[in-house]
Amino acid sequence: MTLDKLPIGKQAVITAVGGEGPLRLRLLDMGIIPKTKVEVRKIAPMGDPIEIRLRGYELTIRMEDAKKIEIKPEG
């Protein structure tokens, strides 16, 4: 499952970060790394971008980038 499919308010654990080159490095630099808990907080009215919470802060990412982040839902 990818992060773009996670419903609002649900938590998951990141299992893999896809993408190539600078995009992947940017995601990793923002703290989006495997074994990190993540929660979808908000989705913009038009569906893009989404706000996620991880490591004690909120981060807004594009839906296109969220599709590259593999997760495992909790529970």
Confidence class of residue 6 from pLDDT cuts 50, 70 and 90? very high
User: Rounded to two decimals, what is the model's pTM?
Assistant: 0.87
Q: What mean pLDDT value characterizes the chain?
A: 92
- CB 39, CB 73: distance < 8 Å: no
Enumerate domains of the chain plus CATH numbers.
3-73 (2.30.30.90)
What residues have CB less than 8 Å from 43, skipping those under 6 apart? 8, 50, 51
**Euclidean distance between CA atoms 68 and 70, whole angstroms:** 6
**How would you write 22-49 as a 3-class SS string?**
HHHHHHHHCCCCCCCEEEEEEECCCCCC
pLDDT at 20 > cutoff 90: no
- CB 62, CB 43: distance < 8 Å: no
